[in-house]
C-alpha cells in the first residue's frame, strides 16, 4: 500500500503545483530537502544554507588567468 500513498501524494502535489520542504538525516547530519513530483515518482533535492556554500569568488580565486590558443583551444 506504500505505492498508493506515494502516488496520492505525488499526484496531489502535481495538481496543486506545489513542492514540500522536509528534513531527514543523511550522513549523520540533519538535512533540509525540497521534495517535488517528477515523472512517476518524487524527487528530493538537498538544500543548503548560504553559509554552507562557498562563493564563486572564493572557489575560483586561486585559478590563474591563462591564454589558450591554437590546437589546445580546438581540443
- Among 64, 27, 62, smallest CA distance to 46 is for 27
Return the C-alpha cell found at 64: 590563474
Domain boundaries, the chain: 2-58
User: What is the layout of strands, in order, in the sheet containing 41-47?
Assistant: 20-26, 29-38, 41-47
pTM: 0.67
Comparison of pLDDT for 51 and 23, the residue scoring more? 23
Return the C-alpha cell found at 5: 500513498
Residue-wise pLDDT for 55-66, tens only, equals 888 889 888 888
Q: Is pLDDT above 90 for 54?
A: no
**CA gap 3, 66 in Å, rounded:** 54
Confidence of residue 70 (pLDDT cuts 50, 70, 90): confident
Alpha-carbon dihedral angle through residues 27, 33, 36, 38, given to the nearest 10 degrees: -30
Amino acid at each position: 500500500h506504500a505505492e498508493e500513498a506515494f502516488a496520492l501524494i505525488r499526484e496531489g502535489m502535481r495538481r496543486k503545483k506545489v513542492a514540500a520542504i522536509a528534513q531527514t538525516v543523511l550522513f549523520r547530519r540533519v538535512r533540509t530537502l525540497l521534495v517535488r513530483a517528477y515523472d512517476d515518482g518524487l524527487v528530493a533535492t538537498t538544500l543548503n544554507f548560504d553559509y554552507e556554500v562557498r562563493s564563486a569568488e572564493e572557489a575560483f580565486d586561486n585559478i590563474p588567468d591563462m591564454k589558450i590558443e591554437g590546437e589546445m583551444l580546438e581540443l
